[in-house]
């Protein structure tokens, strides 16, 4: 029996073992991340002298009171995913792309592709860890404007209906086309 390959929208990065430059500061009981006016998260890391993991405030930008260091990508999966989000955001800023970043719990970056009176077409980039590999998930999404009522046109933009208003039998290939167009024009 021939083995079939299924192509998904997960794209693993080539080099899985890399070094992450960070700035860290050990947490004490009185401090919370709300005390910092910049992007900081708390992660458990082991120190050089200990097997036991401790909580550290982590950021990727230089800050007073933080120690400049590096860690391997294999040390903390969630930190590595956050770092991949940071790199995508840096690339967006460099290319001057319009994007919206998720919150503290979701490392999602939405790129606005096309805006209409109905809403906006977006490509979502989601850094992820799947099948023991780091990579990104690319996905298409249509965000309906809040003041626009739900309609057949919204369903067409969302790809759930085809251009004739019928069930979209080409949903996955249409989504693939949107993602391919984005990757062609952006990166």
Q: What is the pLDDT of residues 4-25, one digit of tens each?
A: 444 568 889 988 899 999 999 9
Q: What's the CA gap between 132 and 161, in Å, rounded?
A: 35
What is the residue-wise DSSP string for 91-131? HHHHHT--EEE--SS---EEEEEEE-SSEEEEEEEEEEEET
**CA separation, residue 13 to residues 71, 132, 136, 184 (Å):** 18, 12, 8, 17
Task: Give residue 142's pLDDT.
Answer: 94
- Structural domain contains residue 162: yes
- One domain for residues 48 and 101: no
Q: Which residues pair with 14 in a beta bridge?
A: none
Phi first, then psi: give them for residue 76, nearest 5 degrees: -150, 110
- One domain for residues 42 and 68: yes
- Structural domain contains residue 7: no
- Structural domain contains residue 103: yes
Task: Give residue 83's pLDDT.
Answer: 94
Task: For the chain, give the mean pLDDT.
Answer: 85
> How many independent structural domains does the chain possess?
2
- Structural domain contains residue 12: no
H-type helices in the chain, by residue range? 77-95, 152-157, 171-186
Q: What is the pLDDT of residues 40-81, one digit of tens each?
A: 888 888 876 667 888 899 999 998 889 999 999 998 999 999
Q: Reply yes or no on whether the pLDDT at 133 is more than 50.
A: yes
| Range in 19-33, 117-131, 159-173 with the lowest mean pLDDT | 19-33
- One domain for residues 90 and 171: yes
- Structural domain contains residue 97: yes
Q: Reply yes or no on whether the pLDDT at 91 is more than 90.
A: no
- Structural domain contains residue 98: yes
Q: What is the pLDDT of residues 106-125, one digit of tens each?
A: 778 888 888 999 999 998 88
- Structural domain contains residue 8: no
- Structural domain contains residue 6: no
Task: Give residue 161's pLDDT.
Answer: 94
Residue range(s) defining the domain that contains residue 137: 86-186
Task: Give residue 96's pLDDT.
Answer: 81
Task: Copy the structure tokens of residue 116.
Answer: 């209409």
Share of the chain above pLDDT 70, in %: 88
- One domain for residues 74 and 114: no
- One domain for residues 90 and 181: yes
Q: What's the CA gap between 57 and 28, in Å, rounded?
A: 10
Phi first, then psi: give them for residue 73, nearest 5 degrees: -60, -25
DSSP letter for 156, please: H
- One domain for residues 166 and 97: yes
- One domain for residues 124 and 56: no
């Amino acid at each position: 029996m021939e083995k079939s390959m299924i192509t998904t929208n997960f794209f693993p990065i080539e080099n899985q073992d890399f070094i992450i430059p960070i700035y860290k500061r050990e947490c004490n009981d009185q401090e919370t991340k709300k005390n910092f006016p910049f992007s900081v998260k708390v992660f458990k890391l082991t120190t050089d002298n200990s097997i036991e993991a401790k909580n550290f405030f982590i950021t990727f930008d230089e800050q007073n009171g933080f120690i400049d260091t590096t860690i391997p990508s294999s040390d903390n999966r969630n930190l590595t995913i956050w770092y991949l989000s940071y790199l995508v955001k840096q690339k967006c800023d460099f290319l001057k792309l319009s994007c919206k970043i998720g919150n503290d719990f979701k490392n999602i970056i939405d790129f606005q592709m096309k805006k209409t009176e109905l809403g906006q077409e977006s490509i979502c980039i989601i850094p992820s860890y799947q099948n023991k590999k780091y990579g990104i998930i690319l996905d298409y999404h249509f965000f309906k404007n809040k003041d626009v009522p739900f309609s057949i046109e919204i369903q067409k933009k969302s790809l759930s209906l085809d251009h004739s208003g019928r069930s979209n039998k080409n949903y996955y290939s249409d989504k693939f086309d949107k993602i391919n167009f984005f990757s062609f024009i952006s990166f």
